[in-house]
C-alpha cells in the first residue's frame, strides 16, 4: 500500500516535470509545470504562461489552482494536493494557502531556480523583511478612510466569506 | 508641485477604497480594490472576485495586475504604481515584484484585515518560516529529474525571459 502511494506520487511529479519541460520545448513559456490531485486523480494542470498570455501572474501553480477552481466549481480546494516541478514562489505558496491546498510536493528548489536566473529565492528574502526594508517602496495612506470598506464588509449580512 | 502630487496620490487611493466598498455593497466579493497608475493616469483597476468568479487567486491586486498587463500589452509593468485599499497579501506582494511594479501605496494594514478575519497577517508569518515549520506540509521529490526542465530552458536559444 505504502509502495503504491509512493508510486502514485512519483507519477504525478513526473507529469508536472514533463509539463514543465514540454512548455520550454514548445516555446510556450518558463520551465514550470504543476498538477493538482484530489482522491488520487488529476483535477487540473497548469504551465507557466507569463509570456504567452502576457500576464505576470500566470505561473504554473496559479494557472493550475485557477483551473482546479473552475473544474471543481469551488474556490476552496480542500483535500487537494499540489505537485509542482519547482518549489512555489511566494506568490504561488500564498495562493496555495488561500486555496486551502492540503499538501505541496515540489521538484526543483527555489535555489535551483535562482541558478537559472529566476527571482524565487530573492522574493522569499524580500517578503520576510520588514516593509521599510523591501526593494519596492511601500507607503501607507488614508488608513482611517480605508477602514470604510472593512466596515461595509462587517455590516453586510449577505457577504460570502472565503 | 509637491501638493499637486500628494493630491493626485490621494485621488488614486480614494478610487481604490471606493472600488473596495462598492464591491462589498454590490455583493460582488471581498472588501478590496486596487488601481494601477502610470504617468499620472489609471491604466487598470481590479476588485476582489474570489467568490464571484470562483477563483482563489482573484484578489484585487492580482486582477489589477492582469488587467494592466492586458491593457498595456506587456508582462512588465515598469514605471507603474499600485494603489490598493489594503496592504497586499504575500501573493499580491510577490505578484507586484514579478510585474516590476515601482511603488505600492496601501490603505488598511494586514493587521486591520486580520481584525475582519482575513488571513493576510497569518500568511506573512507562514512564508517567513522555514519550509518544515509551515502549516501546509511541503515535500521535495525527484529533484534531480526536475532539473531536466531547467536544463531544457538553459539549452533553448529561443526562450523569452521574463
Q: How far apart are alpha carbons A36 and A19 in whole angstroms? A: 13
The tens digit of pLDDT for each residue in B97-135 reads 999 999 999 999 999 999 999 988 899 999 999 999 999
Is B94–A123 a contact, with Cβ atoms under 8 angstroms apart? yes
**CA A82 – CA A74 distance, rounded (Å):** 16
Rounded (to 5) percent helix, strand, coil in chain B: 50, 20, 35
Tally of CB atoms within 10 A around B99? 27
**Inter-residue contact B32 to B86 (CB < 8 Å):** yes
pLDDT at A15: 98
pLDDT confidence of residue A5 = 83
- The pLDDT, as a whole number, for residue B75 is 97
For residue B158, what are the CA distances in angstroms to A20, A85, A106?
16, 21, 26
Low-confidence ranges of chain A (pLDDT < 70): 1
Which active-site residues of B does the annotation give? 61
Report the C-alpha gap between B32 and A133 in whole angstroms.
25
Query: With left for phi above 0 and alpha for psi between -120 and 50, is residue A29 left, alpha or beta?
Result: left
Does pLDDT of B2 surpass 80? no
| Tens of pLDDT, residues A95-142 | 999 999 999 999 999 999 999 999 888 999 999 999 999 999 999 999
Query: Rounded distance, CA A87 to CA A110, Å?
Result: 6
Is residue B13 within 8 Å of residue A141, measured between CB atoms? yes
pLDDT for position A153: 96
Asked if A77 and A69 touch (Cβ cutoff 8 Å), the reply is yes
Confidence of residue B5 (pLDDT cuts 50, 70, 90): confident
Cα Rg of chain B (Å, integer): 18
Three-state secondary structure string covering B43-78:
EEEEECCCCCCCCCCCCHHHHHHHHHHHHHCCCCCC
Are the beta carbons of A138 and B87 separated by less than 8 Å? yes
pLDDT of amino acid A3: 81
Which residues on A lie below 8 Å from B140 (Cβ)?
87, 105-107, 109
E strands in A6-146: 33-38, 41-47, 80-86, 103-108, 138-140
pLDDT of residue A20: 98
Q: Give the pLDDT score at B3.
A: 81
pLDDT in tens, B62-97: 999 999 999 999 999 999 999 999 999 999 999 999
* CB atoms B90 and A89 under 8 Å: no
Mean pLDDT of B54-63: 98
The pLDDT, as a whole number, for residue B100 is 98
What b/e sequence results for A26-42 when a residue is b if at least 16 CB atoms lie within 10 Å of its CB, and e otherwise? eeebbbbbbbbbbeeeb
Residue A4 pLDDT: 82
| Rounded CA separation A106/A133 (Å) | 29
- At B4 the pLDDT is 82
Q: Give pLDDT, residue A139.
A: 97
Active site residue A81: no
Q: Output the average pLDDT for chain B.
A: 96
CA–CA separation, B85 and B21 (whole Å): 9
- Give A61→chain B minimum CA distance, Å: 10
- Residue B138 parent element (H or E): strand B138-140
Q: Which of A10, A41, A45, A61 is catalytic?
A: A61
φ/ψ region of B145 (left if φ > 0, alpha if ψ in -120 to 50, else beta) reads alpha
**pLDDT at site B40:** 95
Q: Which residues on chain A are in Cβ contact (under 8 Å) with B116? A: 150, 153-154
Amino acid at each position: 500500500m505504502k509502495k503504491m502511494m509512493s508510486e502514485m506520487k512519483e507519477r504525478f511529479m513526473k507529469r508536472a516535470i514533463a509539463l514543465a519541460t514540454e512548455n520550454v520545448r514548445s516555446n510556450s513559456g518558463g520551465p514550470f509545470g504543476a498538477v493538482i490531485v484530489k482522491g488520487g486523480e488529476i483535477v487540473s494542470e497548469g504551465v507557466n504562461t507569463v509570456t504567452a498570455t502576457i500576464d505576470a501572474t500566470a505561473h504554473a501553480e496559479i494557472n493550475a489552482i485557477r483551473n482546479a477552481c473552475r473544474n471543481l466549481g469551488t474556490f476552496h480546494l480542500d483535500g487537494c494536493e499540489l505537485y509542482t516541478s519547482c518549489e512555489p514562489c511566494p506568490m504561488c505558496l500564498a495562493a496555495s494557502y488561500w486555496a486551502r491546498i492540503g499538501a505541496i510536493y515540489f521538484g526543483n528548489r527555489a535555489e535551483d531556480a535562482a541558478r537559472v536566473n529566476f527571482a524565487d529565492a530573492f522574493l522569499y528574502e524580500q517578503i520576510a523583511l520588514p516593509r521599510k526594508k523591501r526593494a519596492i517602496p511601500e507607503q501607507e495612506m488614508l488608513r482611517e478612510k480605508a477602514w470604510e470598506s472593512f466596515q461595509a464588509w462587517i455590516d453586510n449580512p449577505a457577504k460570502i466569506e472565503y
